[in-house]
Amino acid sequence: FALSGNTPEGATVTLFVGDDKGQTYKIILVPKSIPGEEVILKPPPERENYAAASTTLTGKAALYQRSAKDMTLWMADAALNGRVERVMVNKEIPLWKEGRLIYVSRMAQANLVGETYRLTNISSTPMALVEQELYRRGVRTVAIEFHTLAPGEGTDIFIVRDRKPNE
């Protein structure tokens, strides 16, 4: 990826990379102004045993992670929206003075809630977003469509969190 001129110092970018065996790896990138580098990812030793153990020993955890990932994809892809009922909310949420945040819609499953937000930069300067700013207790995934917003630009934000007992 390339650095924009507005990348804040110490900002990170989180990537999830999947391999042909179905394993997903989380990579946290810290942008620096250095010449390009080649990154080679090697699976851990005894990969077959590791994959088998992870599906049998932590089957509930793997299923839970898959459910959170699927819900994020359903919210982001209009073609998949019919899998879970979407309830329109359209409520403004005060978050930052530099941005206007609208809680657009909500989806719910047995254990998870998916929330779609629209953030618009209402300041006169560019805005840089990182997922970590939107995490709170119970949040499982945060996905931001565009991480840098010029004045007047907007982006969709998708958050999947645990469903509370009273929901």
**pLDDT digit string (tens) for 49-107?**
444 444 444 566 667 778 888 888 888 876 666 667 788 999 999 888 899 999 999 98
CA-wise closest residue to 11 among 28, 36, 35: 28
Taking the chain, what is the end-to-end CA distance rounded to the nearest angstrom?
A: 40
User: Which has more confidence, 153 or 47?
Assistant: 153
Token reading at 3: 């650095």
For helices 47-57 and 59-76, the axis angle rounded to 10 degrees is 90
CATH topology of domain 47-162: Immunoglobulin-like (2.60.40)
User: What pLDDT shows up at residue 2?
Assistant: 56
Q: CA nearest 154: which of 117, 106, 118, 111?
A: 118
Count of beta carbons in the 10 Å neighbourhood of residue 107: 20
Q: What is the pLDDT of residue 54?
A: 47
Query: Between these two residues, 153 and 28, which has the higher pLDDT value?
Result: 153
Joined tokens for residue 164:
């509370």
Q: Is the pTM of this model over 0.75?
A: no
